[in-house]
Amino acid sequence: MDKLIIKGGNRLSGTLPISGAKNSALTLIPCALLTEEPVTLRNLPRLADIDGFQHLMTQFGVAHSIPGKRPEEFGRVVTQEATRITSNVAPYDLVRKMRASILVLGPLLARTGEATVSLPGGCAIGNRPIDLHLKALEALGAEIELAEGYVKARAPAAGLPGGEYDFPIVSVGATENAVMAAVLAKGTSRIGNAAREPEIVDLCRLLVAMGAKIEGIGSSELVIRGVKKLYGATYKVMADRIEAGSYACAAAITGGEVFLEGANGEEMDATTNALRAIGVEVEAQEDGVHVRANGPLKGVDLSTAPYPGLATDMQAQLMSLLTKAGGTSVLTETIFENRYMHVPELRRMGADIEVSGRTAIVKGVDRLTGAEVMATDLRASMSLIIAALAAAGETQVRRIYHLDRGYERLEEKLALVGADIERVGDD
């Protein structure tokens, strides 16, 4: 198992390319199940989660082709073709490591009339039940049964009739599953209190390119008029707003200046607003986002919320940045109840953080010091990298397989802008 060795103190400076969004790509990939024709995704990040999801798609009989591309380039182009679905079962061995696997439930149900999907796994950041996925699909006409660790879903013989469902709380994954199921339903469906994240917009845009009829894209109410057939399409995955925000924090904590090439400033407004409040200069440009730390960092109060609020996936990275800010900051995590597992590791590096329930109080310190630390989940892993870049001495970050799930060739990108970072085998 590999680890990262980081020698802190280098100021990050230069251009840093932003990859395609992991959270979007994991939603776009299963769209190939909805049509017999080829679906080509451009700007697909090279990540462990992407590889795992494509392996799952192979289980259903989906063929993949990847045209030649230089390995030193970021991203790739992948064409998927589900001419015939050979299986509608997603087994435990393929699903257990990745929560996003539940997103095959809606498209399999819509295309084949039935689906059997193992209850999913993923990062241990709290209780993330799939009951909203199931209730939404039931509202569209599906029959759902839970048995022996599997979700078994069936549509009526004539196919899903469509229906209406108002989510009691906003759920990104459940909205995605419902949308993918509804596009091939016999009638019109309405989804209320739908998630509005840019990744949902990306999904809807691909489906429309495939022939779906969706109204209200980007709003909290989606109206989907089912069609008999979807077609192939070629589509570019949106830039990863969480990766961009993470590298913005990395630049800021080192007093650096970077250009996040390809980032979409409009899609990361909540993050850029938080950075500006902390004292970081952020300028959205046509082809990316310019970030510059010029002056002292200031403590702030931040709270995560569904989009357009501050993404829970940015909480850990901003916490690391605030360990070096003047005064006291208060972070409130409203989405997941167990997302402060990085705090003990940051304390090992000299951070002053106290946690009470869903609230973390961060008192800025003059100095962080290198230490051996253990990554606990994907975004927590990145928070440790950010802290290490500003810490005196050497930091060793273990269990970095979490990082490989969500950050494409992280050490290479950070080295491009001046970080002293190396991946080595962990004996």
76 is in an annotated binding site: no
The DSSP element (H or E) to which 114 belongs, if any, is strand 114-118
Return the pLDDT at 70. Answer: 58
Query: Which residue from 231, 156, 207, 221 is spatially nearest to 186, judged by alpha carbons?
Result: 156
- What is the rounded CA–CA span in Å between residue 1 and residue 218? 41
Please say whether the beta carbons of 110 and 183 come within 8 A.
yes
Return the pLDDT at 322. Answer: 98
129 is in an annotated binding site: yes
Q: Taking the domains of the chain in order of start, what are their residue ranges?
A: 2-18+239-425, 22-236
Walking along the chain (427 residues) 10 residues at a time, the average pLDDT comes out as 95 97 97 98 93 94 81 82 96 82 96 92 49 95 92 96 97 96 98 98 98 98 98 98 98 98 97 98 97 96 96 96 98 85 95 95 98 91 97 96 92 97 88
Answer yes or no: CATH 3.65.10.10 is held by domain 22-236. yes
99 is in an annotated binding site: yes
Note if 123 is an active site residue. yes
Burial of 340 (0-12, 13-18, 19+ CB in 10 A): buried
132 is in an annotated binding site: yes
- What is the rounded CA–CA span in Å between residue 405 and residue 381? 11
Return the pLDDT at 123. Answer: 37
236 is in an annotated binding site: no
Return the pLDDT at 316. Answer: 95
Residues 6+ apart with CB under 8 A from 346: 319, 320, 323, 353, 383, 384, 387
22 is in an annotated binding site: yes
* Equal CATH topology for 2-18+239-425 and 22-236: yes
Please say whether the beta carbons of 370 and 394 come within 8 A.
yes
Residues 6+ apart with CB under 8 A from 88: 60, 108, 112, 114, 115, 116
Return the pLDDT at 126. Answer: 39
- What is the rounded CA–CA span in Å between residue 284 and residue 64? 36
Residues 6+ apart with CB under 8 A from 324: 253, 297, 364, 365, 368, 390
Active-site residue among 31, 123, 204, 249?
123
23 is in an annotated binding site: yes
Paired with 360 in beta bridges are 331, 355
Return the pLDDT at 68. Answer: 60
What count of other Cβ atoms lies within 10 Å of the Cβ of residue 328?
Answer: 14
Domain 2-18+239-425 belongs to what topology? UDP-n-acetylglucosamine1-carboxyvinyl-transferase; Chain (3.65.10)
The pTM assigned to this predicted structure is 0.94
**Length of the chain measured in residues:** 427
Paired with 409 in beta bridges are none
Please say whether the beta carbons of 125 and 115 come within 8 A.
no
Return the pLDDT at 122. Answer: 42
The string of DSSP letters for 250-297 reads HHHHTT-EEEEET--GGGGHHHHHHHHHHTEEEEEETTEEEEEE-S--
Return the pLDDT at 335. Answer: 86
